[in-house]
Structure 1
Amino acid sequence: MIHHRRIANTLVLSLILFFTVAVRTNVIAQNGQSLFNANCASCHNPHRDLTGPALYKVEERWPDKKKLYAWIRNNQEVIKSGDPYANELYLKWNKVAMNLFPQLTDPEIDAILAYVNSVPDPKAAAAAAATQGGGGTSGGGGSDNTLLFGILTLILAVVAMILLQVNANLKKLSDEREGLPALEPIPFWRNRAYIALVAIAFFCVGGYFTVKGAIGLGRNKNYQPEQPIYYSHKVHAGVNQISCLYCHTGAQEGKHANIPSLNVCMNCHMAINEYTGTEKIYKENNVEVNGTAEIQKLYEYAGYDPSVSKIWDPTKAKPVEWIQIHNLPDHVYFNHSQHVKAGQVACQTCHGEIQKMDEVYQFSDLSMGWCINCHRESKVQFKENGFYSIYQKFQHDLNSGAMDSTKGVTVEQIGGTECMKCHY
């Protein structure tokens, strides 16, 4: 019985070691990812320049890591200190002030940097896949040692099991030499300690994935459905510089941004019946898109045949069944005009670099934490904005110098984190 207790204790210690090492590294990576998504993802990408520069290996671009910490917490103070790299960076990005993150601690910033550096470069992965003839990419992320720690833990567990077996054999030989009766081992399926151990392991693993799935329920970050007509935002908003508000008129004046009706499309495509762009269009699976054929699909929905008549009859049209990408729960109130017109929030803040996307995908996770963090950090555009004229105290404090104009007023200070602002 004592022999089985020793085995059970050793197995428990091995499992604890495995879960501690493997899960701890995974949790650190997840914390870094969640911190990145909550604080940085609206303006930064690990490998591509967005509103701000790419963050991969950003600590190597700073001569002093402490200056990087100070920059993240209050970039304006670092600029005022006369740091040459900080001022060069500020000028390079057209003097666009970065949000302040005084609440982030050094370990949290390190977790964000570790996550950013662990994200593989999509271009490098694609090049590796092409080199290998379409095979999978090799290895994991550069600084993510979860797999390594997991393998080492499994090796240690195997070594522990071998040592247990050696110890059992030696004890058996010792008992035989001393004339002690040998106890028959209890089969695994009848051993309560083993059964309890397996049950606890299944409970922990199942609970972890259940909680993880429950937290991510309803979040569709990177969701990218295939639409009935291939519509390239890159061609329209990027190459041809069509304003977002030309098609999504409700974004500035109403609660919903709205999907444009066929008559908005036909305003241009009555005259444009073929794709003549110099750049080829590709789907996510690298299949080339025939732009002219997609325009013909639009004509089919519109009930228009330019070879028969140059006049379009809207009564023959049928609606395009676009697949909704961005969707909030029914109990959440969101008003586009309040953000776009009153808050002067750029479309790219929530939707990413939409002008560079061919097939649109959900850029942000649109979680409650993501929204609240934005409200805590985003400054309210008080100047020449009549919507905020009712906040006379803030206006007076800013004009008199009682409030630091460089820090400004955040959305949180005007009630942006109150529950009833978004839930009613």
Structure 2
Amino acid sequence: MYRRVSILLRKHFVSVLILCASIVIPFSAVKAADPAKGKQIFQQNCASCHNVHKKLTGPALAGVEGRWSDKKLLHQWIHNSASVLASGDKYANDLFNEYNKTAMTAFPSLSNEDIDDILAYIKVEEAKPVGTPKEGPATSGAGAKEQGSDNSLLFGIITLILAVVALILMQINSNLNKLAGDKEGHPTPEPIPFYKNKAYIALGILLLFMVGGYFTIQGAIGLGRQKDYMPEQPIFYSHKVHAGINQINCLYCHAGAEKSKHAMIPSENICMNCHKAIKEYSGPELFTAEGKKVDGTAEIAKLYDYVGWDAEKGKYTKPGRPIEWTKIHNLPDHVYFNHSQHTVAGKQQCQTCHGAITEMDEVHQFADLSMGWCINCHRTTKVQFADNNYYSIFEKLHQDIKDKKIDSVTVEMVGGTECQKCHY
């Protein structure tokens, strides 16, 4: 009888494992679109031309899926708009004509999953009322993570529970085997407790090494990286107010971005060009990342104190002193980065590296600025090759375009992944 019970239990044990696997595997295999990832891709590739709620260089993207007859056609449009126009699709050609026959930049490097992530982000944004502040460092704190569809933690917990259940069932099976053997006159040795079983101990040590090694490697890779770094500055300066609401061009303050290696922190006289006249803040309420309300007028008074300006007398009454801004974006000493090369020759927007800077009250580091992040950008970013004197020496590539051997040139094709380009 005990033997039959043991056999039935083993069959039940196998059935339980198969059932659990059939439940967990499909959920782990199917990956839902991730709005958080989509936001990052959107800011890197789309934000310079598109906004969810309003027209920029391109149309507003709210409800974009509903405007296309087929989602596959939308994917094709993003990958290569010219092929959709050539197919004669009415909506695509109407859109092309509406925007003065300006072709949309092709993004062949984006996978269908990347595009679905972008569309998921757009749906999240279009559901928000226009004018509602977007959640970010100003409302959720530096380093806060958006709610996405990443269920890795859930799957890890389920896996751990299944492992414990399997261990318990194996111990029960061993005990029942012993009882059945003793009943039938076949004495069996006492089952070894799992905490004394050498196989289990070896497996546990191996798992500890694997987990410990993984976190050690991840920690080593992350050394020196400061993604989401948001230091407190001596004066609360809101890029959202200046570059966003008031539409001050980035180059007005950071004039070096098109002329030199460094974008430059603006000198105090740049601030005073406006703030000799603007003495009080009258814009929307300001808050720190921790949610503390900021008095904008008091922050302007701090600027006056630094530069020695007397607002009542309308003149400088004491020597000024430099504002000790805390640098946010730092690269290792062995890395060469030139702002002018990226903004002038590469025609890159500030948002590519700095994220949605026009929406930040307090600036934080948007990207990790790792070598992998830069290399991936160089591999996928197309340069403005035609009518760009910087690339006039690449005669072979120009000829290949004329011969229609290639339709575009990426940074990698002009040496953007060679070691000496970025390292001294």
- The alignment's TM-score, normalised by the length of structure 1, stands at 0.74
Alignment of 1:276-291 (within 5 A): 276-277=282-283, 279-291=284-296
The answer to whether residue 369 in structure 2 is matched with residue 366 in structure 1 is yes
- Cα distance change, pair 261–56 in 1 and its aligned pair in 2 (3 A): same
CA distance in 2, matches of 1:119, 1:239: 22
Match of residue 357 from structure 1: 360
CA distance in 2, matches of 1:331, 1:52: 39
Is 296-305 or 230-239 further displaced after alignment? 296-305
Match of residue 238 from structure 1: 244
Cα pair 1:44 1:53 within 8 Å, conserved: no
One-letter amino acid of the counterpart of residue 421, structure 2: K
Is 180-189 or 199-208 further displaced after alignment? 180-189
CA distance in 2, matches of 1:272, 1:172: 88
CA distance in 2, matches of 1:358, 1:94: 35
Q: Deviations over 1:66-88 (max 9, x none)?
A: 33443343232123323345446
- Cα distance change, pair 145–263 in 1 and its aligned pair in 2 (3 A): closer
CA distance in 1, matches of 2:416, 2:278: 45
Cα pair 1:118 1:142 within 8 Å, conserved: no
CA distance in 1, matches of 2:244, 2:147: 32
Cα pair 2:260 2:340 within 8 Å, conserved: yes
Match of residue 419 from structure 1: 419
> Alignment length, in residue pairs?
390
Find the residue that maps to 1:316 and give its secondary structure.
Answer: coil
Find the residue that maps to 1:294 and give its secondary structure.
Answer: helix
Match of residue 346 from structure 1: 349
Q: Cα offset for 1:283? A: 2.5
Match of residue 177 from structure 1: 183
Q: Deviations over 1:333-363 (max 9, x none)?
A: 1111112223322222222232232211222
Match of residue 325 from structure 1: 328
CA RMSD of aligned residues (A): 4.5
- Cα distance change, pair 114–292 in 1 and its aligned pair in 2 (3 A): closer
Unaligned runs of 5+ in 2: 1-5, 141-145
- Cα distance change, pair 420–64 in 1 and its aligned pair in 2 (3 A): same
Find the residue that maps to 1:42 and give its secondary structure.
Answer: helix
- Cα distance change, pair 199–116 in 1 and its aligned pair in 2 (3 A): farther
Match of residue 202 from structure 1: 208
Cα pair 2:34 2:121 within 8 Å, conserved: no
CA distance in 2, matches of 1:109, 1:252: 35
Is 147-156 or 370-379 further displaced after alignment? 147-156
Return the match for 2:315 from 290, 295, 311: 311
Match of residue 157 from structure 1: 163
Cα pair 1:255 1:337 within 8 Å, conserved: yes
- The alignment's TM-score, normalised by the length of structure 2, stands at 0.74
One-letter amino acid of the counterpart of residue 374, structure 1: C
The answer to whether residue 276 in structure 2 is matched with residue 274 in structure 1 is no
Cα pair 1:44 1:52 within 8 Å, conserved: no
- Cα distance change, pair 94–242 in 1 and its aligned pair in 2 (3 A): farther
Q: Deviations over 1:54-113 (max 9, x none)?
A: 999977775434334433432321233233454466578886655444456xxx533663
Find the residue that maps to 2:316 and give its secondary structure.
Answer: coil
CA distance in 2, matches of 1:262, 1:34: 38
- Cα distance change, pair 241–198 in 1 and its aligned pair in 2 (3 A): same
Match of residue 172 from structure 2: 166
One-letter amino acid of the counterpart of residue 250, structure 2: C
Find the residue that maps to 2:44 and give its secondary structure.
Answer: coil
Q: Cα offset for 1:189? A: 4.6
- Cα distance change, pair 43–118 in 1 and its aligned pair in 2 (3 A): closer
Cα pair 2:44 2:352 within 8 Å, conserved: yes
CA distance in 2, matches of 1:44, 1:201: 42
Q: Cα offset for 1:43? A: 2.3
